[in-house]
Structure 1
């Protein structure tokens, strides 16, 4: 892991510092687009990867961020009921436009607009997590409590 940050990852690092968080963004030698790739590169359990999934809420046309454990699939019906909107797929253009990040590098914070966030309750089983930091090779370590504080997200059973 090295410390050369691209523009998006630097934006996440700067925001973490501005908010008073000690977390450091690191760059992995290989892609971490998937939870398995990230876990392999970091040397942690896949379940400790806090993967950011953006949905497009159909009625409001707003983004919804679900931060899920790397081993969990999002139960779209359950999440849809929780947010009282139908969930749709978010294509790459929608994700970049609404979050400022590319798919595979969506950070849980630092989006270009406010994004409603749900956090997988299973992430709270771990002392530490790893989340994307604005680029498919950039990640940062954090605790579940930090994730909740940074995102102001609602903790929910998402599977």
Structure 2
């Protein structure tokens, strides 16, 4: 199956598949997931899921079990917030909690530069360099959570504890 790739992805604008039939962005994610000892499964959905509600519907889970990976800019430094799909990030409160002057929504170029991934497919791991990461404790309510797997149409299953272990994320309330 050919997975459409956003046209602004400099990594693979044609959306070509590797020899195993997997998109290179998903293959990179899979390798990093295995390297970090992740036990979850990767699911490639038939269409990109641009919202937590659409992802939850496609996966048959509650919207709160979707772990959105949101990259923010703290000046010129990235900050990754893993938040429940049931929450919106209050950037002023979170900035204060994590000790930065302000958090701004990151531009697509900033996201690609710091994650190697495109908006809508940003995963909690598999970035070119470590990113300070914070996790919404609300996700602890779910035995299984789902997060992006490096491509807008791919997600992976995990647990709250596994996400913390793989990312080094610190817990912080997001709203």
The structure in which a higher percent of residues are strand is 1
Find the counterpart in structure 2 of residue 125 from structure 1.
141
Question: Which whole-Å CA distance do the structure 1 matches of 2:168 and 2:67 have between them?
Answer: 15
**What is the aligned residue count?**
157
Dislocated runs of 4+, deviation >3 Å = none
Question: Which whole-Å CA distance do the structure 2 matches of 1:118 and 1:24 have between them?
Answer: 23
Question: Which whole-Å CA distance do the structure 1 matches of 2:91 and 2:21 have between them?
Answer: 36
Question: Which whole-Å CA distance do the structure 2 matches of 1:135 and 1:8 have between them?
Answer: 6
Task: State the Cα distance separating 1:22 from its structure 2 match.
Answer: 2.2
Find the counterpart in structure 2 of residue 7 from structure 1.
24
Alignment of 1:107-126 (within 5 A): 107-126=123-142
Q: What SS does the aligned partner of 1:93 have?
A: helix
Cα deviations by residue, 1:54-83 (Å, 9 ceiling, x for unpaired): 10002xx11100000001000111111022
Aligned equivalent of 1:67, options 82, 87, 92: 82
Alignment of 1:73-92 (within 5 A): 73-85=88-100, 86-92=102-108
Which TM-score applies when normalising by structure 2?
Answer: 0.85
RMSD in angstroms over aligned alpha carbons?
1.7
Find the counterpart in structure 2 of residue 138 from structure 1.
154
Question: Which whole-Å CA distance do the structure 2 matches of 1:32 and 1:97 have between them?
Answer: 22
Aligned equivalent of 2:57, options 40, 46, 58: 40
Alignment of 1:97-116 (within 5 A): 97-116=113-132
Q: What SS does the aligned partner of 2:166 have?
A: helix
Gaps of at least 5 residues in structure 1 are none
Question: Which whole-Å CA distance do the structure 1 matches of 2:36 and 2:104 have between them?
Answer: 32
